[in-house]
Structure 1
Amino acid sequence: MKVASHLVKIAKLQALRERLDPLEDFELWFWAGMTAGTHAVNAALHQAGITLDDDMFATQPGVYLVPQPDGNLKAAFRPLGDVLHVGRPKVEAPVPADIAAMMEDMEQIEHYRDPCLREGLVPTPAIAQSCDAALQRCLGALARRTEGGAHGH
């Protein structure tokens, strides 16, 4: 996806999260946050020139839906554009420190995915606060990067 498209999706997901209760609506709140953070990491990777900022949509590692002249989407193998989750697929190129920190924040969030969403761990206020703080750090780093601030080189 293009950086601008990632930014639009982040804004929509953040608006959704604001309408949800972090504990009562934890699963949806969590997925919206995790997805927003993944969009942020992808936008930062594109902005840094590490991954392709292209009009294509990841379906699985290395496979993208690419718009065709007739308006349809066609699956194609392509070089790394968007990661689906931090580490999937792994970014082989050197990553600036600020983006590496964003990836660490996302790993902190994803640490709670299976326990809370699949294994029955009841989310606590501390878990929600930890996830939200990591997401806010990630989004803040993207904002600094896209506003021409620290680039972490």
Structure 2
Amino acid sequence: MNVQSHLEKITRLESLRGRLDPLQDFELWFWAGMTAGTHAVNAALHHGGITASDDMYPMQPGVYLIPQPDGGLKPAFRSVGDILHVGRPVIEAPVPEDVASMMHLMETIEQYRDPCVREGVMPTAAIIEECDAALRHCLRLLSDRMNGDGHGH
């Protein structure tokens, strides 16, 4: 995907999160936030020229769906474009400090994925606050990058 597409998805996901109750709708709220943050990291990686911003969609690390002339999608091996999650795939190229911070913030959020979404651990107000604060900070770093502030070079 390209930077603009990532930004548009972040806007839609943030709108959805705003309509959800973080505690009552935790799983949807959490996935929307985690997905928005992943889009933010991808936008920052593309903006920094670290990953390809081609018109392709990740399936698995190294495997992307590529749009075809007939409107369909075909899987193909490609170099790193969009990441699925931080560390999946690992980014081998040097990453600017602000993007590394964004990635760390996403790890802060993702540490709650398995316990709270898959293993039945009940989310708490503290978990919700930690996830929300990490996402807010991640999105601020992206905004700074897009506005030309703090590229972290």
Bin of the TM-score, shorter chain as denominator length: over 0.9
Amino acid at match of 2:136: Q
Under a length normalisation based on structure 1, what TM-score does the superposition of the two structures give? 0.98
* Offset of residue 103 of structure 1: 0.3
Give the gaps of 5 or more residues in structure 1. none
1:142 corresponding residue in structure 2:
142
Which structure 2 residues correspond to residues 7-26 of structure 1 after superposition, within 5 A? 7-26=7-26
Name the residue aligned to 2:59: 59
Q: Report the AA paired with residue 134 of structure 1.
A: A
Q: Which runs of 5+ in 2 are unaligned?
A: none
Q: After alignment, is 62-71 or 131-140 more displaced?
A: 62-71
Q: How far 1:55 sits from its partner (Å)?
A: 0.7
Distance 1:78 1:118 in 2: 30
Look up the SS of the partner of 1:75 in the other structure. strand
Identity %: 69
Aligned Cα RMSD in Å? Answer: 0.6
Q: Which amino acid aligns with 1:86?
A: V
Summarize the alignment of residues 36-115 of structure 1 with structure 2, pairs less than 5 Å apart: 36-115=36-115
* TM-score normalised over the length of structure 2: 0.98
Q: Summarize deviations over 1:36-57 as a string: whole Å, max 9, x none.
A: 0000000000000000011110
Q: CA offset at residue 149 of structure 1?
A: 1.2
SS at match of 2:76: strand
Task: Count the aligned residue pairs.
Answer: 153
Aligned partners of 1:33, 1:16: CA distance in 2, in Å?
A: 9
Q: Partner of 2:7: helix, strand, or coil?
A: helix
Aligned with 2:41: secondary structure? helix
With 129-138 and 71-80 compared, the bigger mean Cα shift is at 71-80
Query: Which amino acid is 2:112 matched to?
Result: Y
For 2:62, the aligned partner's letter is: G
How much has 1:59 moved relative to structure 2? 0.7
Alpha-carbon offset, residue 70 of structure 1:
2.1
Q: Distance in 1 between matches of 2:72 and 2:2?
A: 18
Take 2:53 and 2:121, find their aligned partners in 1: how far apart are those partners?
A: 37
- State how far apart, in whole Å, the 2-side matches of 1:65 and 1:121 are: 34
